[in-house]
Structure 1
Amino acid sequence: MKRRAPLWARITTAVGCTLAVVSGGALVGGQTLIAQYTSDFTDDSLLESTAANAAAKKDIKGPLTMLLVGIDPRNAKTPPLSDSIVVVHVPADMSTAYLFSIPRDLYVEIPADSKSGLRAHRGKINSAMALGSQVNGKINVANGFKVLEKAVRNVTGIKEFDAAAIINFGGFKNVVEALGGVSMVIDMDVKSEHLTPEGKQRPRLDRCPAKNSPSGCDHPYTGPQATYKKSSKAVRLEPWQALDYVRQRYANAGVPMTDYDRQRHQQQFIKAMAKEAMSKNVITDVSKLSKILDAAGKSLTFAGGGNSPIEWAVAMKDLNVDDMTTVKLPGGGKFDGNSYLGEEFGAGADDFFAAVAEDRVAPFLLDNPKLVNKDG
């Protein structure tokens, strides 16, 4: 057991942090662009604005709150949009975790930032990181993250985050492939906007070229689509199917679907991936572990308040994956007349945030069961 512990800690860290952020945006096939931004697996400059980055290490004890962000830059010169924002709360006994998503289109106050010259304004939260990362003509992901982190803290009332991670989706694709897919319940009929039944890119309409498409090309693809049928039991998904499924957010063939459905599927996928990562067929396969670690290390930037990723993994070794709870916060569209501005949280969200701050999420959800996702 002593010889296995370090490897277990490494895989728990690499996969655990990686799985916590699943993209809804387009994947950059096979690229690991985050490596171009930082050469270190651990980068505490992400949390310079929080107490978590104190000079001395802090004991990793609950309650803990972590911010996990997924980005999909097309290249190292592209400002990264935070296409997926997930907050994880671990209670004082560190026995489980609660996951909730911040809608990418949440209409919030984007804070001012002197480094990037950003002025305070109202806008969609996924733009905060992109705007804050543009410093002196270069891309500074750490600074962009600080702007996003402040925006999230402002809207949730969370005073500080104990840890944070940024994942690049190109490298994440390799992690999913290294795991060999996942098993999860499909909770609604879904058709793919992007891929054919064979997993290939759907062809574009002639009137909607990849560049300079005219208006009316919000759905530029045509031809047969990959389909995911509602199931009552867990279904085995190939890596490309799992990643494609959690990307979808458009109504199709009369089936209503929104970004809130996609958030739920992302959270369900996190649980499914965590279970897969800790299964016997992964833990006992040294070759598979090595591939997962390599993929995660190249696609993940982690900040742990002075503690290493392995120290975080060991501290949370007793967390029960099966008991992880995914939460759907109330919300809907915000409009100025007929103009759509973005999303806004609904009644009850502030009460949930107060429960997070006071570490009483479990009793709060018992009183508000509709906020708990039914994720199979």
Structure 2
Amino acid sequence: MSGGGGRRIREGRRRKSAVPTWARLCTILGAVLVMLSGGVLVGLEAVLARFDSAVNEDDLFGDEAAGGAAEKKSDIKGPLNILLVGIDPRNPETPPLADSIMVLHVTETLDSAYLFSLPRDLLVDIPRFPKADFSGDRTKLNAAMAYGSRVPGKKLPNASQGFELLSLTVSKVTGIKRFDAGAIINFGGFQKIVDAMGGVTMYIDQNVRSEHRRPDGTHRTLKPGGGGYLGPQAQYKKGTRHLLGWQALDYVRQRYQKNGVSDGDYGRQRHQQQFVRAMADQALSKDVVTNPLKLDRVIQAAGDSLVFSGRGHKLIDFGFALRNLRSDSIQMIRLPGGNIGTGSNYRGERFEPIAAEFFAAIRAGTVDSFVINNPELLNKLK
């Protein structure tokens, strides 16, 4: 894929298996690092054992509760659909909201894929979910995880249970009946990953001012009565920049504004795609893979940031299955949409009809030709 955030792949440089998604980033760290570094670091078994012990696995789709319905195969075959959800937990007693929702669709040959985001404010029908005593509602997509995470009789929410309801809701939206794997990613943990790598170099496509942080990284003060923040703002200027962990995380939270008008969640989706691609490049750079101490810190931070379900397969299994998937064979997709209502009447986001056509192409296995015929769906990251 031409363009994109982070450093460009130089001609003649060794090709690397770097899928620009959070789950794939963690998979690469565990399964492919030695292949990429030519074995100069440590033995493969040691890397796999180190990473495998760091990853948290849980039942994200309710398979165990359904009586062990997790599907086990001798190998992983395409096509694959992987649901990735980013959360920003600030209080363990508060039900988590899905701050970022992405789907990685890997084609049947397992060597190309499409990554697309669903707006967190997408207005959807969330189905009833007896596990959480939830009767169903028509509201914003990110609320599905919060509703599903409620455990009757318990004070603390269960994010894994919330993921199950979110996956059911995304299935209704996209028509994808079954996800082959899923992951919950803690945004705070990703700040630790970036810091463990020594920062991340990425391309910023627009001048952006932070609503939440000052230039020194401290939080801005909330205005009396709410309605905004006070104090100087951190700025992210257009161009290739090296960001610390707090800067990268702050950048992907911002909604880009032009002439005072926000582009809704679409600018933030683009920022997140820039970020994960740059993280993948940085994590697989020689500066990381040939430095045992830095590598160990990155692997541990990645494990602490991730809850994974492979529905019968380990994260490492997916790493080997997707070993031929290259960063330039991943297409970033932007599904067009718009607001439902404005101002005080704002109810959420909606997709344009072409999104339903894109989902139908995924289900039919014709997404390659569909995107060729609709190039405007390609999200230009640079």
Q: Given the alignment, which residue of 230, 251, 275 partners 2:238?
A: 230
How many residues in Structure 1 have an aligned counterpart in Structure 2? 336
- Residue aligning to 2:134: 118
- Residue aligning to 1:30: none
Separation of aligned partners in 2, 1:296 and 1:100: 22
- Residue aligning to 2:178: 160
Separation of aligned partners in 2, 1:52 and 1:306: 9
Q: Given the alignment, which residue of 76, 82, 103 partners 2:92?
A: 76
List gaps (5 residues or longer) in structure 2: 1-16, 29-53
AA partner of residue 191 (structure 1): R
CA gap 1:13/1:119 in 2 versus in 1, 3 angstroms: closer
Q: Give the conservation status (yes or no) of the 8 Å contact 1:13–1:310.
A: no
Q: Given the alignment, which residue of 36, 50, 66 partners 2:82?
A: 66
Q: Give the conservation status (yes or no) of the 8 Å contact 1:15–1:296.
A: no
Paired residues for 1:1-376 under 5 Å? 16-17=25-26, 41-48=56-63, 53-57=69-73, 59-138=75-154, 139-205=157-223, 207=224, 214=225, 217-219=226-228, 221-231=229-239, 234-249=240-255, 251=257, 254=260, 256-335=262-341, 339-376=345-382
CA gap 1:18/1:71 in 2 versus in 1, 3 angstroms: farther
CA gap 1:121/1:104 in 2 versus in 1, 3 angstroms: same
Q: Give the conservation status (yes or no) of the 8 Å contact 1:52–1:304.
A: no
- 1:228-255 superposed Cα distances (whole Å, 9 cap, x missing partner): 2223xx3322322222111101537747
Separation of aligned partners in 2, 1:15 and 1:175: 14
Percent identity over paired residues? 50
AA partner of residue 41 (structure 1): N
- Residue aligning to 2:42: none
CA gap 1:337/1:374 in 2 versus in 1, 3 angstroms: closer
CA gap 1:242/1:187 in 2 versus in 1, 3 angstroms: same
Separation of aligned partners in 2, 1:191 and 1:45: 36
**What's the TM-score, normalizing by structure 1?**
0.82
Q: Give the conservation status (yes or no) of the 8 Å contact 1:52–1:160.
A: no
Shift of 1:89: 0.8
Q: Give the conservation status (yes or no) of the 8 Å contact 2:55–2:306.
A: no
- 1:259-282 superposed Cα distances (whole Å, 9 cap, x missing partner): 110111111211111111222221
Q: Give the conservation status (yes or no) of the 8 Å contact 2:56–2:308.
A: yes
Separation of aligned partners in 1, 2:111 and 2:238: 31
Give the SS at the match of 2:257.
Answer: coil
- Residue aligning to 1:5: none
Separation of aligned partners in 2, 1:250 and 1:188: 8
CA gap 1:14/1:267 in 2 versus in 1, 3 angstroms: closer
AA partner of residue 151 (structure 1): T
- 1:8-45 superposed Cα distances (whole Å, 9 cap, x missing partner): 99xx99761489xxxxxxxxxxxxxxxxxxx9712235
AA partner of residue 56 (structure 2): F
RMSD: 2.8
CA gap 1:222/1:173 in 2 versus in 1, 3 angstroms: same
List gaps (5 residues or longer) in structure 1: 1-7, 20-38, 208-213
- Residue aligning to 2:36: none
Q: Give the conservation status (yes or no) of the 8 Å contact 2:60–2:160.
A: yes
